[in-house]
Amino acid sequence: MSDSVIVVSGDGPETRVALIENGILSELYIERERERGTVGNVYKGKVLRVLPGMQAAFVDIGEEKAAFLYAGDIATKSSTGDQSVGDDEGMPRRTGKPANIADLVRPGQEILVQVVKDPISSKGARITTYISLPGRNVVFMPTVSHIGISRRIAADRDRKRLRRLVDQMRPQGAGFIVRTVAEHASNGQVRADMDYLLRLWANIEVNERMHRAPVVLYRDLNLMLRVVRDHLSPELDRVIVDDRVEHERLVRFVSTFMPDYVSKIELYSGREPIFDGYGIEGEINRALERKVPLKSGGSLIFDQGEALTAIDVNTGKFVGSKGKTLEETITQTNMEAAGEIADQLRLRNLGGLVIIDFIDMDKESNRRKVYRKLQESLRRDRAKAHITKISEMGLVEMSRKRTKESLLRLLTAPCDTCKGKGYTKSASSICYEILREVRREAKHLSGDTIVVNASPAVAAVMNGPETVAVDNMVKRVQKGIEINPRRDFHIEHYEIRSRNKMQS
């Protein structure tokens, strides 16, 4: 298997795209047609409510949930100057205090917006009026007068060449971001990219004038084309697709926008499913596990909650090499953990607040060493992350940009047994609960015998280790207690009734 590959599984009801870097599964993208994401889509929306206290507004874009628009995400004349500062991809940062939301939009107003974050859990999509249309080499920003050059383009000569080229073609009041891959692109390729995006924007403007809100004016490329557009580079060896129709579509797309890479597009010919052939299915299943083993014998424990994700680093069975001190052993485990944590954050697509509990290190120099390792490992991540230095207790606080649901939330559902709690009451606890309920209800039940229907595990406890407790309750309520195991009962479910009247 090649070291760096994009593997596309598109022959089923969902499209899955895996990015393998240096032989390791780095990122996984999944798109189901009936649940297709909305990030990148452009809408003509209608303002429903303005919330001055939150400096935001709800906007109807025609989707199931109203979208959320912050005041700081509304383009104004004062926020579109060339003085903007670029980030790694040259995106302008909005600085300064935004105007009052009530002065920017009003209920009933029709407004052109773009989705920047898909709906997550109970929240609707987050939108902006700063429209950006990504191409292979550049990103077009029709509402921002700005030229941004990716900071990863280091050569001054290339930066000046690309800036002159973009400035010649950009419309007045609009801007472009030059992406990292443009460093190796010819002037003709960059111009073709810009021309395509300008025509695309002109088409969106025509559709906006023709339709009333809410309506979608532009849908972003499908998952396969987006991933290939963003990742296909000289460093990538191949793109392998298992579906003939999707393969032909990809070849046409690459021939138009990246003709130098057409030879890298291949149709999978193996007999087993493509993700099995490349060992990806097993990696996906491991990415859903709570525990991640480290090569040294240590492990990572992931606990994903609503507000944050906690990651605990354990030494496990790793006791270090001969001649090494405890401090050296702990530092070695933490160094390995730092690299694995960065990989897992990408693969699991964990966003928001993350707390990492490294094993305590006594020496400040070792804490700095682990911190630098984590920083270095996170540079491969396309999602922005901010991290704090390691505290004396070994804790690191970090935030990672959240743009979509995590892999766990995407591929799993709350457990039917525990209803998403992550635990159930023990059989002994339910046994004692039943006995307390028998005591409460005995005087209300007719007949001489109380019937208890419970799960087999609970019935076994009541008929076994807790027989004495059941006998004592019989004496207390002066009624017989009959215990029946019910195989179809959840462990926390039970029924208490007399022979002729049910109560539960």
359 domain residue, yes or no: yes
Instruction: Give the domain-ending residue among 191, 221, 251.
Output: 221
Please indicate, yes or no, if residue 416 is contained in any of the structural domains: no
d(CA 48, CA 105): 10
Residue 230 within a domain:
no
Q: What is the C-alpha to C-alpha distance for residues 492 and 489, in angstroms, rounded to an integer?
A: 8
Please identify which residue in the block is written with the tokens 């443009």: 182
Q: Pick from 387, 411, 435: which residue ends a domain?
A: 411
Final residue belonging to a domain, choices 351, 385, 411: 411
CB 485 within 8 A of CB 460: yes
Q: How far is it, in rounded angstroms, from Cα 499 to Cα 504?
A: 13
pLDDT digits (tens, 9 = 90+) for 20-79: 998 889 999 998 876 777 888 999 999 999 999 999 999 999 988 999 999 999 987 655
pTM: 0.74
Do residues 438 and 472 share a domain?
Answer: yes
Q: Are 302 and 348 in contact (CB under 8 A)?
A: yes
- Domain of 442 in residue numbering reads as 427-503
Structurally, how many domains does the chain consist of? Answer: 4
**pLDDT bracket for residue 302 (50, 70, 90):** very high
Q: What pLDDT band is residue 90 in, cutting at 50, 70 and 90? A: very low
Average pLDDT over residues 475-481: 93
The answer to whether position 258 is within a domain reads yes
Asked if residue 407 belongs to a domain, the reply is: yes
DSSP 119-165: -BTTB--EEESS--EE-SSEEEETT---EEE-TT---HHHHHHHHHH
The answer on 323 and 255 residing in a single domain is: no
Residue 91, pLDDT > 90, answer no
Instruction: Give SS3 for 220.
Output: coil
Contact assessment for residue 309 and residue 409, using Cβ atoms and an 8 Å cutoff? no
Residues 359 and 332 sit within 8 Å (Cβ to Cβ)? no
Q: In sequence order, what are the residues at sequence separation of 6 or more whose Cβ sits closer than 8 angstroms to the Cβ of residue 209? A: none
Asked whether residue 302 falls in the same domain as residue 447, the answer is no
The closest alpha carbon to 127, from 135, 136, 118, 140, belongs to 118
Q: CB-based contacts of 400: which residues, under 8 Å, 6+ apart?
A: 345, 350, 351, 352, 354, 381, 383, 384, 385
- Grade residue 259 by pLDDT with cuts at 50, 70 and 90: confident
d(CA 399, CA 445): 58
Domain holding 404: CATH number? Answer: 3.40.630
Same domain, 21 and 144: no
- Cis peptide upstream of residue 107 (ω within 30 degrees of 0): no
Q: Which two tokens stand for residue 437?
A: 């309920």
Same domain, 110 and 193: yes
Rounded average pLDDT over 261-283: 92
Distance of CA 57 to the CA centre of its chain: 25
Confidence category of residue 502, pLDDT binned at 50, 70, 90: very low
State residue 154's pLDDT score. 84
| Same domain (yes/no): 142, 85 | yes
Mean pLDDT, rounded, for 152-179: 90
pLDDT digits (tens, 9 = 90+) for 209-246: 999 999 999 988 889 998 998 888 888 899 999 999 99
Q: How far apart are CA 278 and CA 1, in angstroms?
A: 8
Give the C-alpha separation, 98 to 96, whole Å.
Answer: 6
Q: CA angle, 183 as apex, 177 and 184 as ends, to 5°? A: 135
pLDDT confidence band for 418 (50 / 70 / 90)? confident
Lowest mean pLDDT across 39-48, 200-209, 311-320, 422-431: 311-320
How far apart CA 68 and CA 54 sit, in angstroms, is 11
* pLDDT above 80 for 82: no
Which pLDDT belongs to residue 88?
A: 42
Residues 150, 18 share a domain:
no
71 and 157 assigned to the same domain: yes
pLDDT digits (tens, 9 = 90+) for 101-137: 999 999 999 999 999 988 876 788 999 999 999 988 8
| Structure confidence at residue 84 as a pLDDT band (50, 70, 90) | very low
* Pick from 75, 214, 213, 54: nearest CA to 132: 75
Q: For position 410, what pLDDT does the model report? A: 84
Gap between the Cα atoms of 451 and 455, Å rounded: 13
The yes-or-no verdict on residue 501 having pLDDT over 50 is no
Predicted pLDDT of residue 248: 95
Residue 417 lies in a domain: no
